[in-house]
Amino acid sequence: MIFYGDAIMTIKLIKLFALSAILIYATAAKGISLLGPPIADIKQGQFSLSAGYSHSESEYKASFKTNDVIVDGAVSNSFLAKPAYGINDDWKIYATLGAADFTQDGFDDSFQFAYGFGTKVTIEKYEKISWGFIFDVGYRSHNDNSTNDVNGTSGFSGEIDYYDVTLAVGPSWEATDRLRLYGGPFLYILKGHLNFDSPDASESFNLQQRTMLGFYFGTEFSLTENSSWFAEYHKVGDTWLAGTGINWKF
């Protein structure tokens, strides 16, 4: 058993350990990227590019032995682009490229490279409503190197890396010639590693796979024949995410 002589240092280690659970919430809601309509919205052989910004916030209570810690103000911001290609009229594939940060009391990381990939399939089409699903995979890594511990004399560092999978299904409704409404439920799965080093201890934890159910909804408004503006809201557990972006078709 590892013994931490300083109670405040113990609390800091608890908070870092709690991040393994917080990240499931703070980056769920699809923390890495906005989802867009759950259908293949480009034709066979067509390309598209979307660029968006999202912001998420979370609060989580963690317990470690006899200590309870409320870890709040967990904030994540993402700037991501998604180039896509239409395999056929009902199936498209895409990549996710960009940067994301993560900030919480005791852990502060600037923007780091984030990437992933995914696919969208249209299942059923009607005059105004289409149904489909999204399969999305993302990877993310964050690290924090503090110059001082509780006594101001030694260093403390932590690193979290993980991948996540989102499975979403739902409708896309053509409300008018220029306005689309969409959304639906999604499953979120996460797995990764948490490592930290301090003068008192070095530990590594696995982020155990978790599956959670959430929902999202969004709107898309045509700006020109080949461009549109979209906005989304996601909710899962105690986490919310909101974002907006522009989509172009070529």
**pLDDT at 222 exceeding the cut of 50:** yes
Which residues fall within 8 angstroms of residue 224, CB to CB, at 6 or more apart? none
Sorted by where each starts, the structural domains of the chain and their CATH numbers stand as: 7-64+71-249 (2.40.128)
Q: In this structure, which amino acid lies at residue 135?
A: F
Name the token pair of 22.
């917080």
Question: Above 70 in pLDDT, residue 112?
Answer: yes
* Helix (H) / strand (E) containing 114: strand 107-125
Percent helix / strand / coil, the chain, rounded to 5: 10, 70, 25
Give the list of residues 6+ apart from residue 176 with CB closer than 8 angstroms, or none.
none
CB 39 within 8 A of CB 130: yes
- What tens digit of pLDDT does each residue of 150-183 get? 444 445 566 777 788 899 999 999 999 999 999 9
Map residue 134 onto helix, strand or coil: strand
Tens-place pLDDT, residues 31-58: 557 999 999 999 999 999 999 999 988 7
Nearest to 120 by CA among 178, 27, 30, 36: 36
